[in-house]
Amino acid sequence: MNSLYDEFRIAVHSVWNRRWLALAVAWGACILGWLVIAMIPNKYESKAQIQVRTQSILSDQVGLPPQDQRRNIQQLTQTLISSENLAKVVRGTDLGASVATDQELAGKIEGLRANIEVKAEQDDFFAISAKLPSGKLARDVVQKLIDVAEEDNIAGDRKTTSQTLRFLDAQIEGRQKELANAEAKRVAYETQNLGLLPGVGSVSQRMEASRAELSQIDSQLIQARSALAALNGQLAGTPATLNTTIAGGGSPTALGQAQGELASMRARGFTDNHPDVVAIRNQIANLRSQGGGAAGGGYRTPNPAYSSLQSMRAEREASVSALQARKSALQSDMAELAAKQTAEPGVAAEYQRINRDYEVLKAQYDKLITERDQIRLRGQVETQTDAVQFRVVKEPSLSNVPAVPNRPLLLAAVLIAGIGAGIGAAFALGHLQTSFPTAAKLERASGLPVIGSISQMLGVEEREQRKQKMKLFYGASGGLVGVFALLLVAEFVQRGLTA
C-alpha cells in the first residue's frame, strides 16, 4: 500500500515539475478542439406525430382486408421520403430558393433524405423528424412532408387506381379480340366438320341411333311378314265368289253376310276355336243346309270377304316393302358413317384443342372483368371513404436549441480532454527523462545505499521569482477556464438571440 502511495506521489511530483508543459499542451488541445466545435454547423430538429388510421368496416366488405390496409400504410411511409416527394418538399420550402439546375435539386434531395426520419411508433402512430440548419426550415420541411402525405393518400390512390384500370381495360380489350377470334374459329370448325364432332349428332351417336332403329325395323319387318303370311293363308281358304240360289229355303244374302263376317274374324286373327268363329260357322252350315235342298237354279257373286282380304294383303305387302326400303337405307347410311368414323378421332382431338383454347381465353377474360370491377370498387372505397385517414397528433415543433451539436457538453469535454492531455504529456516526459524524485528511487536505480536527501534552500529573491511564476501559472490556468466560461456564455447568448 505504501509503495502505491509512493508511486502516486512520484507521479504527481513529476507532473508538477513539468506543470508549464502540461498547461501549454492543455491550452493547445482546448483551442484546437474548440475551433473544431465552432466549425460544426448547427442543426435544429423539428418533430411531428401523425396517426394513420384505417377504417375496416366497409373495406372488409369490398375485399380490402387488414393485411392490405397495413401494407398500404407501410408503402405510404416508404414512399413519403421518395425522390418525387422530397422534390416537392424542396420546391415548397426555402430549400428550393437556391436551386437552379437538376444537379442542384438532386443534391438537395439527397441531403434532405439524410436528415429526415420517419419512424413507426406504437399502433398506427408515426413520428416525422427533420434536422436542418434552421429551426423554421426544419418545421416547414416536416409540415410539407405531412401535406405531401395527405395529398398522396388522396391523389396517389386515385392515380394508382386509374393506371391499374387503364392497364386492365387494355388487357380486357386484347382478350376480347382473342376470344372473338377463337369463337369464330370454333364455329367455322363445327360447320366444316358437321356430324363428325363429339356431342349431339356425332358419328358415334348417329351410328348408335341407326343400329337401334335397324333393330326396331327388323322386329317390325318380322311381324309384318308374319302377318302377311297369315293373311295369305286366310285368303287361300276364302272363296273368291259365292253361289247364290234363285229359290230355296235359305236367304243368299244372309249366307253371304255370314261368310263375310267369318272372313273378317279370321283377318283379325281369330282362331277356329274362338267362340265367335264357332258360332258363325254353325250359322253358315245351317244356312247352307237350308238352301241345299231347295229347287231352282242359281248364280255366283263376288265374295266381299275375299275382296277385303285382298285389300288387307295389299296394305301388308306395302308395309313390308316400306320396312325393307327403310332397312336398306339405314344399312347404306351405316356404311357411310363407318367410313367417316375412321376420321373422327383426329377431328375430335382438334376440336377439343380449339375448345380448350377458347375456354382458357374465356376464363382469363372473366377473371380480368372481375378484377377490374373489384379494383374499381376498392378504389372508390379508398378514395371516397378515406380508407386511410390522417390525423396530426402533434404539430411540427419549432426549436431554438440546436439538436446537433450539443455545444456545452462538447466544450466541457474538450476542456477535460485538454487538461488530461497536458497531464499525460507531462507524465510521459517525466518517464522519458531520468530523474530521481526520492532517495529510495535513487537507491534502487544505483544499487548503492543512500544515506539521505538534502532539501533545496532558496533565497529571498528566488522565492519571489517562484511566487511570480506561480501567479502566472494560476493566471494561465484560470484563463483556460475563463475562455471555457466565455464560450458557454456566447453559446447561450446566441440561443437567446435566435429565439
Residue with cell 295389299: 314
Residue tagged 539521505 (cell numbers): 452
Report whether 270 contacts 224 (CB < 8 A): no
pLDDT tens, residue by residue, 258-268: 777 777 777 67
Residue partners of 469: CB distance under 8 A and separation at least 6: none
| Short-list 352, 360, 358, 337, CA closest to 198 | 352
The phi, psi pair for 388, rounded to 5°, reads -115, 115
All three cell numbers of 486: 466565455
Element (H, E) at 243: strand 241-245
Q: What is the pLDDT of residue 420?
A: 94
pLDDT (0 to 100) of residue 200: 44
Give the pLDDT of residue 193: 67
When pLDDT is cut at 50, 70 and 90, the band that residue 387 belongs to is low
CA atoms within 13 A on the CB side of 319: 17
For 237-294, write each residue's pLDDT tens digit: 777 776 655 444 445 567 777 777 777 777 676 777 777 777 788 878 877 776 544 4
Answer whether residue 144 shows pLDDT above 70.
yes
Question: Predicted confidence band at 488 (pLDDT cuts at 50, 70, 90)?
Answer: very high
Are 33 and 132 spatial neighbours (Cβ–Cβ below 8 Å)?
no
DSSP string, 418-431: HHHHHHHHHHHHHH
Cβ distance 149 to 165 under 8 Å?
no
Which residue has cell 408503402?
A: 75
- The residue that leads in pLDDT, 350 or 485, is 485
Q: What percent of the chain has pLDDT over 90?
A: 13
Residue type, 463: R
**Cell 382431338 belongs to which residue?**
349
Contact between 146 and 76 under an 8 Å Cβ cutoff? The reply is no
- Element containing residue 50 per DSSP (H, E): strand 44-54
Evaluate if residue 70 carries a pLDDT over 70. no
Buried b (16+ CB within 10 A) or exposed e, 118-134: beeeeebbbebbbbbee
Q: The domain 44-171+372-394 is classified under which CATH number: 3.40.50.2300, 1.10.357.10, 3.40.50.300, 3.30.70.1130?
A: 3.30.70.1130
Is cis: bond before 133, omega within 30 of 0?
Answer: no
Strands 241-245 vs 388-394: parallel, antiparallel or unpaired: unpaired
pLDDT digits (tens, 9 = 90+) for 176-213: 888 888 888 888 876 766 555 555 456 667 777 878 88
Is the pTM higher than 0.85? The answer reads no
Among 416, 190, 436, 224, smallest CA distance to 319 is for 224
Q: Within its chain, how far is the Cα of 148 from the centroid?
A: 28
Are 414 and 30 in contact by the 8 Å Cβ rule? The answer is yes
Grid cell for residue 355 = 375448345
313 vs 161, residue with greater confidence = 313
Distance CA 234, CA 434 (A): 165
User: Sign of the CA dihedral 121, 122, 126, 130?
Assistant: negative
Q: Is the pLDDT of residue 63 over 50?
A: no
Residue 403's SS3 state is coil
SS3 category, 357: helix
> Look-up: residue for cell 267362340?
275
Of 453 and 147, the structure prediction assigns the larger pLDDT to: 147
pLDDT value at position 248? 46
- The closest of 210, 168, 185, 243 to 327, measured between CA atoms, is 210
- pLDDT value at 473 more than 60: yes
pLDDT at 440: 67
Among the residue ranges 25-39, 227-241, 403-417, the one predicted with the least confidence is 227-241
Is the pLDDT at 461 greater than 70? The verdict is: yes
* pLDDT tens per residue across span 97-138: 888 888 889 998 998 888 998 887 777 788 889 998 888 889
Least confident range from 4-18, 268-282, 444-458: namely 444-458
Q: What is the pLDDT of residue 489?
A: 92
In the prediction, which pLDDT does 411 show? Answer: 94
Q: What angle do CA 170, 175, 176 make, to 5 degrees?
A: 95
Burial class (CB in 10 A: 0-12, 13-18, 19+), 236: exposed
Q: Residue for cell digits 402512430?
A: 125
For the chain, first and last CA: distance in Å?
57
Q: Please give the average per-residue pLDDT across 35-51, as a whole number.
A: 90
Q: In the prediction, which pLDDT does 482 show?
A: 95
Amino acid 225: pLDDT: 86
Which residue ranges make up each domain of the chain?
2-40+405-498, 44-171+372-394, 241-302
